[in-house]
Amino acid sequence: MKTQYLQRMLIGLGLTMALAVPWASATNYYVVTSSQQPSPTPPWTNWGWAHTNLIEVVAVARDNDTVYVTNNATYWLTNQITVSYAITVRSWGPGGILDPTNTILDGNYPNTTNRHFTLNKYGATVAGFTLTKGCDNWARGGSILLQNGIVTNCTIVSNYAFAAYPYGGGGVHMQDSSGGVWNCTISGNTSSNAGGGIGINSGGPWRIANCLISGNSAGVQGCGIWSSSPTAGTVISNCWVVSNYVGGNGGAGIYLKGECHNSFIMGNTCNPAVWGEGGGVRAQNGSLVRNCLIANNICYAGGGIATYDTMSIQNCTIVSNYASSGYGGLFISRTNAAAKVENTIIWGNRTDTGTSSNWGISAWGDYAMSTFTNCCTSPNIVYTFATEVNTITNDPRFVNNATDFRLQSSSPCINAGVNRAWMENALDVYGNRRIDNFRRTVDIGAYEYLSKGTVFGFQ
């Protein structure tokens, strides 16, 4: 023990020392199905001794250990798996790769009512599974309760969360500490309250990155992602949030407290016959939406985005959204709500009423001042509680007004934006540089125009 303690001290000081006592190495554990291993033998540390009970193996693993679960198998769970140490639980496919398609953890709902995992330790990781038919009756993660840790490269599909409490998370619920969900598909999950796909209630910062969040449903709000009150906010980046449905109240795509970057928020629906705001995004105070395409969403008011509070919208394209009551693109709602909108296209949105089809401010309590800088929208901004600078009212000239919202070479939005410090090394929603090396001026909208041609180098 003294030797190990000395070694840790030396490493902490950037020094090394050859010692007779080696470091204790992490342990690998292995899990297979009962048909593959009729007689599992402790300590389950190679495939020949592999266990058939994943819950028991995770219970003995400790920090830095890894639990490998063989692929081409379905594992039925009768209880949740609690990960309380910094271990990795992952699938094992050909050559050791992750194989979420063929490594399935089945929660067996409705025969049993348990989620798949609870993670509550920094460094805890679940990777490479299909997680299906999990259920939680307190609406805190039908598949995963994430209190601390990472979920990555998983398909989280057809899970359920039922309760009258607005915790949220038919697929995943996040609370208490921090972590994230990366490179996952979260699809077809259901919450009776909020957060059909993901629900976030406290803690943070939480990170959701490179995920497809689609086809989820919720009874109240935030069907794709419900980020209601995390202490340190949520950052959503490089995600597709598409075709989610919520019964009312709004935020069919995202109910946002935090930031959303470089994402596609499309085809989400909040029942247009029921009061609700924000078919694509319903934003809370201080939220930021940047470099996003928000298209073809539906709601009662604010088909694309709605905000009750002060928020920022930067370099977005808000197009072809629909609101049955009004403000098909952007709705700035309630007393003291204000939006700071820059370099954004708000175009081609629809409504059934005589109110503005692209954007508007609520008729009651217009006390805060919204600002629109270098935006492309029509008609001109004429509201008492909004100011505008360099508004373009001409057609932005998309490649295709229905399906492709990149800019044509003749678009008035090219090189018409205002540069900001965050843009220098940033990418647009399509992965192109926001500030290129030739024109050095940002375009309006989510897409930066990329001229065709060849660049030659000379020596």
pLDDT in tens, 111-131: 888 999 999 999 999 999 999
DSSP per-residue string spanning 280-319: SEEE-TT-EEES-EEES-EEEE-SSEEESSEEEEES-EEE
**pLDDT confidence tier of residue 163, bands split at 50, 70 and 90:** confident
Return the structure tokens found at 245: 């449905």
Look at residue 360 in the predicted model and tell me its pLDDT: 79
Taking the chain, what is the end-to-end CA distance rounded to the nearest angstrom? Answer: 63
Rounded Cα gap, residues 334 and 285, in angstroms: 12
What is the sign, positive or negative, of the torsion defined by CA atoms of 134, 59, 96, 39?
negative
CB of 100 closer than 8 Å to CB of 153: yes
CB of 385 closer than 8 Å to CB of 370: yes
Rounded Cα gap, residues 319 and 454, in angstroms: 32
What is the sign, positive or negative, of the torsion defined by CA atoms of 258, 432, 322, 371?
positive
Look at residue 355 in the predicted model and tell me its pLDDT: 57
State the chain's mean pLDDT as an integer.
Answer: 88
Note the Cα 326 to chain centre separation in Å. Answer: 27
Lowest mean pLDDT among 2-16, 77-91, 361-375, 399-413: 2-16
Rounded Cα gap, residues 247 and 201, in angstroms: 20
**pLDDT confidence tier of residue 16, bands split at 50, 70 and 90:** very low
Return the structure tokens found at 440: 């050095």
Look at residue 166 in the predicted model and tell me its pLDDT: 65
Is the pLDDT score of 173 beyond 90? yes
Is the pLDDT score of 39 beyond 80? yes
Average pLDDT over residues 289-318: 95
Is the pLDDT score of 385 beyond 50? yes
pTM above 0.75, yes or no: yes
Exposure b/e, 302-339, CB count within 10 A at least 16 = b: bbbbbbbbbbbbbbbbbbbbbbbbbbbbbbbbbeebbb
Instruction: Select the more confidently predicted residue: 37 or 97.
Output: 97
Is the pLDDT score of 17 beyond 50? no
Return the structure tokens found at 38: 């009729």
Is the pLDDT score of 142 beyond 60? yes
Return the structure tokens found at 68: 């490998």
208, 221, 310, 262: which is closest to 447 by C-alpha?
Answer: 262
**pLDDT confidence tier of residue 15, bands split at 50, 70 and 90:** very low
Look at residue 6 in the predicted model and tell me its pLDDT: 34
pLDDT digits (tens, 9 = 90+) for 239-266: 999 999 998 888 999 999 999 999 999 9
Domains and CATH numbers, the chain: 23-389 (2.160.20)
Is the pLDDT score of 9 beyond 60? no
Look at residue 337 in the predicted model and tell me its pLDDT: 76
Look at residue 326 in the predicted model and tell me its pLDDT: 80
Number of other residues whose CB lies within 10 A of the CB of residue 206: 25
Return the structure tokens found at 14: 């950037």
Is the pLDDT score of 429 beyond 70? yes
Is the pLDDT score of 294 beyond 50? yes
Return the structure tokens found at 178: 């921090």
Lowest mean pLDDT among 130-134, 318-322, 336-340: 336-340
**pLDDT confidence tier of residue 137, bands split at 50, 70 and 90:** confident
